[in-house]
Structure 1
Amino acid sequence: MPFPPSKEAIVSLYRSLLREAKRLPHAYLRQFYYLRAQDEFRRLASTDRGGMQVRKFHRISKELSRLRRANDSVLADFNHILDMAYGRKGPLRYILMKPFLSDPTVPLPPRIIPMMPKSHPPHYTPELSALMGSPFARMTGKTYSEKELHRPPTLPLRSDPRSDDYRIFGPLSKRREVNIRWRFFCGQWKKTYPPLELTALSAEDSPSLALRRGFVLQKMNLLQEVRALASSSSNKPPAPRRQREVFNTDLAASGATSLSFSHTLHLGPTRFMRRRYKQLLGRIPIITRRPSTTQDEVSLTYDISLDPLAIHPSDQRPERCWADVDAVDCAWLAFDEAMTKKTEKL
């Protein structure tokens, strides 16, 4: 059994993690990983010395290595940092999805097994049904309609008394039906991206609805910050790579530490950063609540869309646009045609 880490090793790892978090390009990313590092090391310090503490120490060490690679502009690791900070994966993702999994104002569906209190089938809220029916909010691209959610595709035909399988093989076990429905529900919402906030067409209804349903990031305006980072904030083009290298070399010669790729944003927004945040927008669905004339909130409908700057994985590469032929190009084409005819005569 490996020896547990010493107190000096834990403190050194904590300082290294804070040092790497300080190099992150965005204030929200730095704040997120500051708080995450504090929570991780509180749990590490409260764990009894043993195998569990060793495993937590190694897991945090791997997170530190991933932060270093992200600051060195490694594509996969920087996308992982963005997904963790904006709730595309990790604990924050469950916190963002939790308000969509249930609605306290709607009563539970009737039990499948009357004598069992926990045999209620899962309830699909209107927001969750809209998210699971849109390809913009699905990780795999597979969408499900209202009919498929009411009767999951994994449910055997024996559960339907009107089917031939029911008459031949007999009815399906009710306990098995409960398990299949809940397994499908849990497996599919985990493959769905949660939105960062709920957008209502009525400005008066949005705060009350968000407060009642428990959307924790409703007032942080994170979506607007991502849009600003995805778009060029100035007309100045990005600084060339050699100019950034010379800038870092001058800093090192003056005694300062070399800046990472993300800390040279004052030289101009880099293409790497803009494209990463555009791809992040492709993983953030925007859910908009339609106004309704009825008083029943269950009948409300929701629209799922993406930001215009978003790059979705299903987007096709646009066709290459060729420039128009000018007079110089026509002269060269005529000269090439004349030389070809001359060669053929010889």
Structure 2
Amino acid sequence: MSTDVKAVFRLYRSFRREIRLLPTAYLREFMKMKLSDDFRSIVEAKKDWVQTKKIKRAESELRKLQLANSGNVKKFDYVLDLAYGRKGKLKWELLEPLLSDPSLPKPERIIPTVERSRPPVYPAELTALLTSTASRTTPPVNQKALQKPPKIPERANPNSEEAKLLGPFSKRREVNIRWRYYTEQVQRVLPPLQVEVEEQGAEGEPERRSNKVTLNRIGVRSVGMQDEGILEELQTLARRPSHKNAPEENGQQNAPFAGSELPSRFLRRRFAHLLGRIPVLRYSCPKERDEATDTKKRTGRYQVSWAPGAVHPNLRYSPERLAEADANDIAWFEHAMLEEKMRADDAKRRRAAKLEAMNAAATTQSEDNK
């Protein structure tokens, strides 16, 4: 290793000092593991140019971490996205189990003699994520686009007029278009941290569970950080503490963000926005059926939503976030509706009077001409 060893370890110690300032234990542990992996790759790099490139990248990461600890919103969100799999290596580790399903049959080859010409498979979990707003960085896609990507022309259908006129569409191009579309859409998916199961309780009300025992009993695959309590911890961090349990009254400072110098309100807002980037994948069990009258096999379905306390532009005017109208609100609403009706009636009368005056003027002019 030709690089100055002291400079590398100086950089390492600077990282450790910044990591100690992070607000939660999970963030500190994650960044410690990432730091260990990054600097191990620096030390084990055999080529000088590779080592120099890795050191520059580490210096850039250190500057981002310093800005995050100083209260920079963009850089703090960057650290959160890394730690909770919104980007980086962890994102693909969370997504990997959702990209395949051993229980699904292999699709037929597009090119009969080429094994790799099979089109991509969309498991039920991945389909739900691709077609939902809550799990996408871009607008969702529809089911038809998954079956036939938009860039595949009508010529791909051998019975179409274009195919009869111009000849058959290249099978290799069709394979490439399908896989390119699949890759692009998967890259825009935000992976869930766990799967929830919603089933009918004893009293007929829906009950939600996310433990592995329930998932194994129903036959649903666990994903991500199942049973780790990470999502529940995020909801607690994003929730505003009650007045009786406020940190200032209990003699604690900035709890539950002990060790961080950033304001607790800033941290709560950042974790709430993070929840808006973490979809909740929920499996709804089929309702009970009458075996004598219903012989069809029913299966559950996957749905995607946001966790309670999440902040997202699409949730701004959702019913769950709007306060219930009281008597004063209803009175103001009725008053506004009455004023709107009076203005509309007044405008209607003015238009009628203006039209009547114009007709009278036209009649007078025609009589004068005679």
Fold shared, TM-score > 0.5 on shorter chain: yes
> Does 1:308 find its partner at 2:308?
yes
SS at match of 1:199: strand
Distance 1:311 1:178 in 2: 39
- Of 172, 175, 179, the residue aligned with 2:176 is 179
1:66 maps to which residue?
64
SS at match of 1:303: strand
CA 1:4–1:224 in 2, change beyond 3 Å: closer, same or farther? same
CA 1:297–1:71 in 2, change beyond 3 Å: closer, same or farther? farther
- Of 119, 122, 125, the residue aligned with 2:123 is 125
- Amino acid of the residue matched to residue 289 of structure 1? Y
Higher mean C-alpha deviation, range 295-304 or range 74-83: 295-304
Distance 2:74 2:275 in 1: 16
Contact residue 158 and residue 165 of structure 1 kept, 8 A: yes
2:132 maps to which residue?
134
Q: What is the Cα deviation at residue 319 of structure 1?
A: 9.7
Distance 2:309 2:34 in 1: 29
Distance 1:126 1:296 in 2: 19
- Amino acid of the residue matched to residue 172 of structure 1? F
CA 1:15–1:5 in 2, change beyond 3 Å: closer, same or farther? same
SS at match of 2:115: coil
Q: What is the Cα deviation at residue 237 of structure 1?
A: 6.5
1:81-100, aligned counterparts within 5 Å?
81-100=79-98
Runs (4 or more) in structure 1 with deviation over 6 Å come to: 209-212, 236-239, 293-298, 317-321
TM-score (norm 2): 0.73
* Deviations 1:250-304 (CA, angstroms, capped at 9, x unpaired): xxxxxxxxxx996258xxx722111111111111110111113799999541011
SS at match of 2:281: strand
Distance 2:78 2:112 in 1: 45
Distance 1:263 1:209 in 2: 42
Distance 2:37 2:223 in 1: 22
- Of 146, 149, 152, the residue aligned with 1:149 is 146
Higher Cα Rg, which structure:
2
Contact residue 198 and residue 206 of structure 1 kept, 8 A: no
The sequence identity of aligned pairs, in percent, is 37
* Deviations 1:188-226 (CA, angstroms, capped at 9, x unpaired): 011010000011125576442899846241121110010
Distance 1:297 1:44 in 2: 56
* Deviations 1:28-51 (CA, angstroms, capped at 9, x unpaired): 000000000001111111101410
Q: Which runs of 5+ in 2 are unaligned?
A: 200-208, 290-294, 329-370
Distance 1:209 1:50 in 2: 54
TM-score (norm 1): 0.78
Q: What is the Cα deviation at residue 136 of structure 1?
A: 0.7
1:254 maps to which residue?
none
Q: Which runs of 5+ in 1 are unaligned?
A: 240-246, 248-259, 325-346
SS at match of 2:168: coil
CA 1:296–1:18 in 2, change beyond 3 Å: closer, same or farther? farther
Distance 1:306 1:297 in 2: 30
Give the aligned CA root-mean-square deviation in angstroms: 3.3
CA 1:233–1:27 in 2, change beyond 3 Å: closer, same or farther? same
Contact residue 284 and residue 300 of structure 2 kept, 8 A: yes
CA 1:299–1:145 in 2, change beyond 3 Å: closer, same or farther? farther
Distance 2:2 2:56 in 1: 11
Distance 2:217 2:48 in 1: 47
